[in-house]
Amino acid sequence: QTEEQFAESKQAIKQRIAFYASTPAYRRVLDTHGWGSLQPELNLMSKQGKWVEMGELIEDDILNTFAVVGEPQEIVPMIKQRYTGLVDRITINFSYAPVAERPALIRELAS
């Protein structure tokens, strides 16, 4: 993955986080981290159809709180370090990992 592709992947995830964060029900989650004031702004932007701009409001610290960010070969150890002992299942979006690498990533996660 090139640096440009990695940046595009991060921005796409920021847009997804912004979409969820625009929902009033998620304000409490943002409040927990001190970002609650962002929710009304994102909500207004969603009503204005400013989907791309919403993602630009998601700083890297927010991204890294809600997503595990790294190159495909780095992700599995990061996930295990972050979530081992805390969860018994996870949902992963590998849409930004090369298709050929996905089966190996899934096998590594399952081990």
Instruction: Write down the pLDDT at residue 19.
Output: 98
Instruction: Write down the pLDDT at residue 70.
Output: 86
Residue appearing with tokens 């081992």? 84
Q: Which two tokens stand for residue 68?
A: 């595990």
Phi, psi of 99 (to 5 degrees): -55, -40
Q: Report CA 74 to chain centroid distance, whole Å.
A: 15
**30: which residues sit within 8 A by CB, 6+ positions away?**
21, 36, 38, 39
Instruction: Write down the pLDDT at residue 31.
Output: 98
* pLDDT < 70: residue spans in the chain: 1
**1: which residues sit within 8 A by CB, 6+ positions away?**
9, 71, 72, 96, 98
The domain locations on the chain are 3-66, 72-110
